[in-house]
Structure 1
Amino acid sequence: MDKKDWIILQMVYAEKNISKAAERLYTSQPTLTYRLQQIEKEYDIKLLYRGRRGVEFTEQGELLVKYAKDMLKQQQEMEELLWNLGNEVRGTLRLSVSRTFAFYRLPQILKAFNEKFPKVEFHVNTGVNIDVVQSIYKQDAHIAVVRGNHSWPSKQITITEENITVLSSQEINLTDLPSMRRISYKTDPTLEMVVDNWWKENFSAPPISSMNVDNVEMAKRMVLNGLGYCIAPSIVLEKNDKLHKIFLSDTLGSPIVWKTSVLYREELLELAMVREFVHFIQEYRRNYSED
């Protein structure tokens, strides 16, 4: 087996479907099936069975998949160390990023970093906060970008702090909210708790929920069309948005904020691409705070 075989095993195991795995690997199903058969012959084992719900790996197949994962990780670490010995900043930077930050901020950051270090490639996974945090704990990513407060035993940099904001198409008063239609959206449970706590501190009746959409960008577009109001971090605000904004405060009058942080392991600063990205993010934080 070689690196291509390790990747094949990982992809088939992840997809549990040979056709889908072949599509993701940009190869044909017969070619992929043939290669799996060759691996079975090489080790004289049965790798997997095909069932109604997709493929199921045998005990020997599971062991070989684990071996493939370990070998890919070892090769990746070796490549990173070899590249780090050179004079150029290069390699593949693995990022795990909160979806909201990835949508509104990440493209500009990666573009600027790529212009400075063109030989650094990016492998980016986006997801909800719990998935992002798990990826950094499991060392699947060099750097995680998370929203809200998180306990992390190594290095953490807060890069943005945003106001939690009531957004509406026309000027309104906070006292009118209980009688208005609210547009809800799927978001991090911690952010939902912050908003719910603020509501309970200010109103005795629950909000009138007119619709529940998949994400905050869709909610914002509903608001722009006058279908109700939403409560969201100010990261969603863009220059051309014609929205009325009210920043929320706690019972002491302090602004309620939602922060974004970068998490990483200190030992990874030995890798030039990680070290340079952290420095770049620190500069981004300074520029963002000055805006």
Structure 2
Amino acid sequence: MRMQDWEMLSVLYETENITKTAKQLFLSQPTLTSRLKKLENYYGVQLIIRKQRGITFTPEGEQLAQHAQRMIHEQRKIEEQLHNMKEEVAGTIRVGVSNFFALNKMPKLLRLFKQNYPNVEFQVVTGWSSEMHRLILNHDVHIGFIKGDYLWNENKDLLYEEEICLASPWEFEWENLPDLPRIDYHTDEKMRSIVDQWWYSNYKQGPNINIQVNQVETCKEMVINGLGYAIIANLVVRPYRELIIKPLHLASGKAITRKTWMYYHEDTLQLNIVHAFVRFIQTLDVKAL
């Protein structure tokens, strides 16, 4: 089998959806279906069962898909070892990045790093911090840039700490918040928990959420245009001086903050490319970028 077949099976095993897999691999659905059929003919077994929505793997297909994931892992490992033997900083580094960091920090970091190491390529995966935590735990990425504190017993560096704040297009009194229009957005469970705990520690009634959006950047634009207030990380709204921005506090008076970390495994530092990238990040003031 070719490496492309391993990758196809691995992605399909994760998505359980032919359309999503074809899109992720930049293939047409007929091409992907044809390759699957060739694999089934080669091994003489049925690999998938089509459902009304998506697919499911047969026991034989599941066994082969798991083998494909192991093969991909081994291939990446040998490629990294060969690059490392050259004693140069070259090859591909895999990075998992939380959504806000990916939008606001990662492009600048990659540009600066490639100025020093032009032979390095990046594979960047973005999503919620909880998803990036799972990727780094499973060794699917070399480095994770993660917002919030997750269970981790290996190396991590604190990049910055920011306040959770209330951003409003108009002056307000804290006691009036339950009656004012709030813009809400989808976020990870840890951020949601922080906001909810603060709210219900201060108010008996729920917030007056009149707009719900998918992304924090959309939420910010709604606030800027005077449609309501939002509870949001300070770095998202700090550049907008027209907004009223006030930090949230615990009952003790301490400001509520959230940390952004760089997670990585100790053994990956043996790779020249990972070692160089980690040391590079450690020299920067990431928050100021």
Q: Contact 1:104 / 1:235 at 8 angstroms: preserved in 2?
A: no
Q: Contact 2:91 / 2:121 at 8 angstroms: preserved in 1?
A: yes
Shift of 1:20: 5.3
Structure 2 portions without partners, runs of 5+: none
Q: Return 89-98 or 47-56, whichever deviates more.
A: 47-56
Q: Return 232-241 or 31-40, whichever deviates more.
A: 31-40
Q: Return 168-177 or 18-27, whichever deviates more.
A: 18-27
Q: Contact 1:94 / 1:123 at 8 angstroms: preserved in 2?
A: yes
Q: Contact 1:99 / 1:128 at 8 angstroms: preserved in 2?
A: yes
Distance 1:27 1:197 in 2: 45
Aligned to 2:116: 116
CA shift in 2, pair 1:6/1:147, >3 Å = same
CA shift in 2, pair 1:244/1:115, >3 Å = same
Aligned to 2:107: 107
Shift of 1:176: 3.6
CA shift in 2, pair 1:39/1:279, >3 Å = same
1:272 aligns with 2:272: yes
Distance 2:57 2:286 in 1: 49
Q: Which amino acid aligns with 1:195?
A: V
Shift of 1:269: 0.5
CA shift in 2, pair 1:167/1:18, >3 Å = closer
String of CA shifts for 1:169-225, please: whole Å, max 9, x gaps: 133343442332222221122222222333344444433222222222111111111
Distance 1:162 1:60 in 2: 49
Aligned to 1:66: 66
The number of residues matched between the two structures is: 289
CA shift in 2, pair 1:87/1:230, >3 Å = same
**1:1-291 correspondence to structure 2 within 5 Å:** 1-18=1-18, 21-237=21-237, 239=239, 242-284=242-284, 287-288=285-286
Q: Contact 1:162 / 1:259 at 8 angstroms: preserved in 2?
A: yes
Shift of 1:281: 1.8
Distance 1:200 1:37 in 2: 55
TM-score, L = length of structure 2: 0.88
Distance 1:42 1:245 in 2: 63
Q: How many percent of aligned residue pairs carry the same amino acid?
A: 37
CA shift in 2, pair 1:155/1:9, >3 Å = same
String of CA shifts for 1:267-291, please: whole Å, max 9, x gaps: 111011111121122122xx24678
Q: Contact 1:164 / 1:248 at 8 angstroms: preserved in 2?
A: yes
Q: Which amino acid aligns with 2:150?
A: H
Q: Contact 2:87 / 2:272 at 8 angstroms: preserved in 1?
A: no
Distance 2:219 2:51 in 1: 41
Shift of 1:51: 4.6
Shift of 1:88: 2.1
Q: Return 170-179 or 272-281, whichever deviates more.
A: 170-179
CA shift in 2, pair 1:34/1:181, >3 Å = closer
Q: Return 247-256 or 89-98, whichever deviates more.
A: 247-256
Distance 2:12 2:211 in 1: 39
Paired residue secondary structure (1:193): helix
TM-score, L = length of structure 1: 0.88
Cα RMSD, aligned residues only: 2.5
Shift of 1:70: 0.8
Structure 1 portions without partners, runs of 5+: none
String of CA shifts for 1:66-99, please: whole Å, max 9, x gaps: 2111111101000001101113211221111211
